[in-house]
Each structure stands twice: as structure tokens, then as C-alpha cells.
Amino acid sequence: MLKKKNKPKFHKLEPLLLLIMVYLTIWGFINIIRLQHERNQNNHKLEELESKHTQQLEINKRLRKKLEKSSEEDFIEQKARELDYVYPEERVFIDTSGNF
């Protein structure tokens, strides 16, 4: 007697599993692209911050040199002059004509 070949039966869950696998694959690719975009943005921000940091270090270096250059009394006098302070009994002439 001849035996019939058992044909594989189409399982009911196969389309659902295929759909889940496709969904997870697409979700994975989208997340990879999103993470690469975020990484690029963060690298750009990092470069900006490093640039600002370098600029601030240069500003601090110049200010430190300026502070070391001037004596303490000169520095205090300069700041007082900027605030319009004068020495006692010092004459100050103010131009009130408005023609500067």
C-alpha cells in the first residue's frame, strides 16, 4: 500500500509570527536611525561646548595676565575711576555744555 506524503500543514500562527518579525525588524531599524541622529546632535553640542570652553579658558588666561600685570592699588584705582569715584580734595571738572 502506498503511503501518502504528509504535506506540511499551514500553521495558523505563522502569519502572526511573520508579522511580528517584520514589525520588530522595522522598529529596530527606526531605533538605530533615531539613535544615530541623536548621537550626531550630541556630538555637535559637544563640539560647541568644547569650543566655548576653549574660548573661556583664553579669556580667563588674558584676565589673569592683566591682573598679574597691574598692581593691586592700580587695579583698585582703575575700578574706582570707572565708578566715578575721586580722591578727597581732588578737583573734577564737568563739562555741562553738552558738547563732547
For the whole prediction, is pTM greater than 0.85?
no
Each residue of 30-62: pLDDT tens digit?
999 999 999 999 999 999 999 999 999 999 999
Cβ(70)–Cβ(78) under 8 Å? yes
The DSSP element (H or E) to which 50 belongs, if any, is helix 14-69
What is the per-residue pLDDT for 40? 97
Residue type, 9: K
Per-residue pLDDT of 20-36, as tens digits, reads 999 999 999 999 999 99
